[in-house]
Amino acid sequence: MSNLSLSLLLPLLASALFISTPAQAADGEAIVKKARCVACHAVDQKRVGPAYKDVAAKYKGDGSAPAHLFDKVRSGGAGNWGQVPMLPHPADKISDDDLKAAISWILALH
């Protein structure tokens, strides 16, 4: 690839990343609301469960976090954030794709 085409391509790719970020954020937020995760969680304050920002901070830089959180939401449990158990959330409550998108949104919070 020539330097000229690379210099034209890089700004285009960078802008695509910034354009998709707000849409992904809106999608993630909409998903957690639709799945009623907000009954127990909030972005920046502890409710029954941890704040999403606290989850993001705990798993920052952990490449295994998306898979771990996916399994945790599916199976439920207690002990990671206190003794109040999180109920299991099967695919009929939140689809695999929606759960993955929600986890990505949560982990991207700062």
Residues 56, 69: Cα–Cα separation, whole Å: 11
Quick one: fold of 3-107?
A: Cytochrome Bc1 Complex; Chain D, domain 2 (1.10.760)
**Whole-number pLDDT of residue 80:** 87
Of 42-46, 81-85, 98-102, least confident by mean pLDDT is 81-85
- DSSP collapsed to 3 states, 24-85: HHHHHHHHHHHCCHHHCCCCCCCCCCCCHHHHHHHCCCCCCHHHHHHHHHHHCECCCCCCCC
Write down the domain spans for the chain.
Answer: 3-107
Q: Are 49 and 41 in contact (CB under 8 A)?
A: yes
Query: In residues, how long is the chain?
Result: 110
Residue 56, pLDDT above cutoff 90: yes
| Residue 41 pLDDT level (bands cut at 50, 70, 90) | very high
Give the contacts of 23 (CB within 8 A, at least 6 positions apart).
none
